Amino acid sequence: MPATAAVSVLALAAFVPVYFVWLGVDHIAELPPRGLVPRALGQGGLAGVVLMLVYSRAIVLLGAARAALFPSLVPVLAILIGVPLTGEVPDTVQWAGLTLVTAGLSWPPMFCGGAEHVKTEPGGAVPDYRHPL
């Protein structure tokens, strides 16, 4: 987690000055606070902090190989969730992409074998991961 925090802080320190030079402070001042505050909390807090913690826990529980499959599902889920929310139906190219991504994600577990199993303690508790170094 310290490495994740360091990367986040360094990315913030690198991005914010460039943003202000490119668009200026006036651009942010023009945005309504009613829309800016929830967006900052949602994208910064939820998408940045909470999702990183949940993804780290998924790596511990599932292993790195299985957890690495989930980011590839983001475009698939975005298109599928968009159908009922926006009424936009995917075109032929998008359906082909969904099919390819889904097939590509299901291929390794089915044919490469040997998925790692999570070791549990008595009572079914999953031990916390401790790096050996």
Domain assignment present for residue 86? The answer is yes
Task: Say if CB 101 and CB 76 are below 8 A apart.
Answer: yes
Alpha helices in the chain (DSSP H): 2-23, 25-30, 33-40, 51-62, 64-67, 74-86, 92-111
The residues, ordered by sequence, that sit 6+ positions from 90 with a Cβ below 8 Å of its Cβ are 79, 83, 98
What pLDDT digit, counting tens, does each position of 32-72 carry? 888 778 887 777 777 777 788 888 888 888 888 788 888 88
Domain assignment present for residue 35? The answer is no
In the structure encoding, which two tokens stand for residue 78, read together? 């975005």
Domain assignment present for residue 45? The answer is no
One-letter amino acid for residue 52 of the chain: M
- Average pLDDT over the chain, rounded to an integer: 77
Domain assignment present for residue 122? The answer is no
> Which structural domain range is residue 77 located in?
64-115
Structurally, the chain folds into a number of domains equal to 1
pLDDT of 92: 94
Domain assignment present for residue 57? The answer is no
Domain assignment present for residue 11? The answer is no
Domain assignment present for residue 91? The answer is yes
Cα(108)–Cα(101) distance, rounded to whole angstroms?
12
Q: Rounded to two decimals, what is the model's pTM?
A: 0.51
128 band by pLDDT with thresholds 50, 70 and 90: low
Domain assignment present for residue 24? The answer is no
pLDDT of 115: 44
Task: Say if CB 126 and CB 118 are below 8 A apart.
Answer: yes
Estimate to the nearest angstrom the gap between the alpha carbon of 86 and the chain centroid: 22
Distances (CA, A) of 19 to 10, 69, 103: 14, 32, 39
pLDDT of 114: 46
